């Protein structure tokens, strides 16, 4: 077997994908601390691993056009990697592998029989037989950023994070706004807590109507960078979210988390770790993993499977953590 001294990992995915792939390189590093590991990803998803001590360098890909890939490949060829772990299977990345001139390439194969974390991890296991899977993910937060965000939050008691925004490309992920309202009232009445709303600028319109419920609800939507949002989530006592990146970030920074699931399979993309759970519908069609729900009529905002998940169920799940 060829001696491996330097590895390149590539994943052109969303924030959650990058978080789910961290245990792959962390497992390698635990067993082989002498190996240098580099990671290539798009800019925004890469933000949470830029200062990761288990990575020697994070390369930012500007796009997936052949021109952009060739430019990146020319830079990477200078590094003389011994192994390329391609977590983004496809024609372009296979051609990219040829551009790199790698002596050895391992390509990820997606399966719904495994959670995404285990699926990514198994890709490396093909080569590094001594790898051991950790049941909890980990992200590292810059202390200066965490201190700055802590000053913004002014935490005085129990803080619960609501991440209400989800990707608009898939139906069966958005939980009804009225349910978020009801859940907020239930939590405020029972725990006298503070609730913070997290998300991007595009999440404001959907999330901020909750501000009228109580002065104990505060919005950070669109007010933080990716790294600051990660720090914000790490300061919560509980995070409640749909199936989206911030949910997986919360689990990776060790915060108790509840995922609200509809069409997506919890066994594949649910919150990963020992201190989290998912609440989902028991409909026969769940999980269908479809982009469009066949039971939604034109003009409907929420899929039946997300409507099935009631606020009282989420409150019961929260009680186990609070």
Q: Are 92 and 69 in contact (CB under 8 A)?
A: yes
Handedness of CA 279, 175, 138, 11 (dihedral sign): positive
Average pLDDT over residues 11-21: 95
The SS3 call for residue 303 is coil
Check: pTM over 0.85? Answer yes or no.
yes
Average pLDDT over the chain, rounded to an integer? 95
The answer to the question of residue 1 being in a domain is no
Residues 181 and 314 grouped into a single domain: yes
- Tell whether 160 and 281 lie within a shared domain: yes
Please report whether residue 147 resides in a domain: no
Residues 113 and 32 in one domain: yes
Res 1 pLDDT > 70: no
Same domain, 164 and 118: no
- Predicted pLDDT at 14: 92
Are both 162 and 106 inside the same structural domain? no
Are 276 and 238 members of one domain?
yes
Q: Which residues partner with 10 through β-bridges?
A: 40, 86
Residue 133 covered by a domain: no
Do residue 160 and residue 289 come from a single domain?
Answer: yes
Give the C-alpha separation, 38 to 52, whole Å.
Answer: 11
Residues 249 and 119 in one domain: no
Give the pLDDT mean for 301-306.
Answer: 94
140-163: average pLDDT: 92
pLDDT at 84: 96
Cβ proximity of 149 and 224 under 8 Å: yes
Work out the pLDDT band at 320, boundaries 50, 70, 90: very high
CB 226 within 8 A of CB 234: no
Are 69 and 181 members of one domain? no
In which band, very low, low, confident or very high, does the pLDDT at 167 lie, cut at 50, 70 and 90? confident
Q: What is the pLDDT of residues 70-79, one digit of tens each?
A: 999 999 999 9
Domain match, 94 and 201 both: no
Number of domains the chain contains = 2
Query: What is the extent of the structural domain holding 291?
Result: 152-319
pLDDT at 274: 92
In the structure, what pLDDT confidence band is assigned to residue 220 with cuts at 50, 70 and 90?
very high
Q: With 70 as the cut, is the pLDDT of residue 302 above it?
A: yes
Name the residue among 234, 182, 192, 240 with its Cα closest to residue 213: 182
Q: Which of the 8 DSSP states describes residue 60?
A: E
Q: Are residues 161 and 303 in the same domain?
A: yes
| 136 within domain boundaries | no
Task: Give SS3 for 212.
Answer: helix
Considering the domain boundaries, does residue 141 fall inside one? no
Res 193 pLDDT > 70: yes
The enclosing domain of 233 has a CATH number of 3.40.50.2000
The set of residues, in sequence order, having a beta carbon less than 8 Å from that of 239 and lying 6+ positions away, is 160, 161, 163, 233, 246, 247, 250, 255, 256, 257, 258
The verdict on residue 145 lying in a domain is: no
Both 169 and 289 in a single domain? yes
pLDDT band with cut points at 50, 70 and 90 for residue 120: very high
**pLDDT at residue 310 is higher than 70:** yes
pLDDT, greater one: 132 or 103 = 132
CA distance 230 to 245: 10
**Average pLDDT value for residue range 241-263:** 97
pLDDT at 170: 84
Residue 268 vs residues 13, 110, 111, 133, 236: alpha-carbon distances, Å: 16, 10, 9, 16, 25
Report the pLDDT value the prediction gives residue 83, as an integer from 0 to 100: 95
Residue 134 forms part of a structural domain: no
The answer as to whether 144 is a domain residue is: no
Strands (E), 139-297: 159-163, 194-198, 217-219, 238-242, 257-261, 276-280
């Amino acid at each position: 077997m060829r001696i491996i001294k330097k590895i390149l990992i590539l994943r052109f995915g969303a924030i959650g994908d990058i978080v789910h792939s961290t245990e792959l390189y962390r497992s390698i590093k635990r067993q082989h601390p002498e190996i240098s590991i580099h990671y290539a990803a798009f800019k925004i998803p890469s933000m949470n691993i830029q200062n990761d001590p288990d990575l020697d360098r994070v390369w930012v890909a500007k796009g997936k056009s052949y021109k952009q890939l060739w430019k990146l490949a020319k830079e990477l060829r200078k590094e003389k990697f011994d192994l390329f772990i391609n977590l983004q299977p496809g024609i372009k990345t296979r051609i990219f592998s040829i551009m790199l001139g790698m002596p050895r390439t391992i390509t990820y194969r997606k399966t719904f029989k495994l959670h995404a974390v285990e699926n990514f991890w198994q890709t490396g296991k093909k080569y590094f037989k001594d790898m051991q899977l950790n049941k909890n993910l980990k992200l590292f937060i810059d202390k200066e950023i965490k201190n700055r965000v802590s000053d913004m939050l002014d935490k005085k008691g129990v803080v619960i994070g609501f991440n209400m925004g989800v990707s608009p490309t898939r139906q069966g992920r958005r939980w009804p706004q009225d349910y978020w309202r009801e859940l907020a009232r239930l939590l405020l009445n029972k725990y006298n807590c503070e609730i913070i709303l997290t998300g991007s600028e595009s999440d404001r319109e959907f999330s901020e109507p909750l501000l009228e419920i109580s002065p104990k609800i505060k919005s950070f939507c669109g007010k933080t960078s990716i790294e600051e949002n990660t720090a914000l989530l790490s300061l919560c006592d509980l995070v409640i979210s749909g199936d989206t990146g911030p949910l997986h970030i919360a689990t990776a920074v060790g915060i108790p988390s509840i995922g609200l699931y509809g069409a997506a399979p919890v066994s594949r993309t649910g919150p990963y770790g020992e201190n989290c759970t998912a609440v989902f519908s028991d409909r026969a069609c769940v999980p269908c993993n479809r982009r469009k729900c066949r039971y939604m009529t034109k003009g409907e905002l929420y899929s039946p499977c997300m409507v099935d998940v009631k606020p009282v169920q989420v409150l019961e799940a929260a009680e186990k953590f609070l």
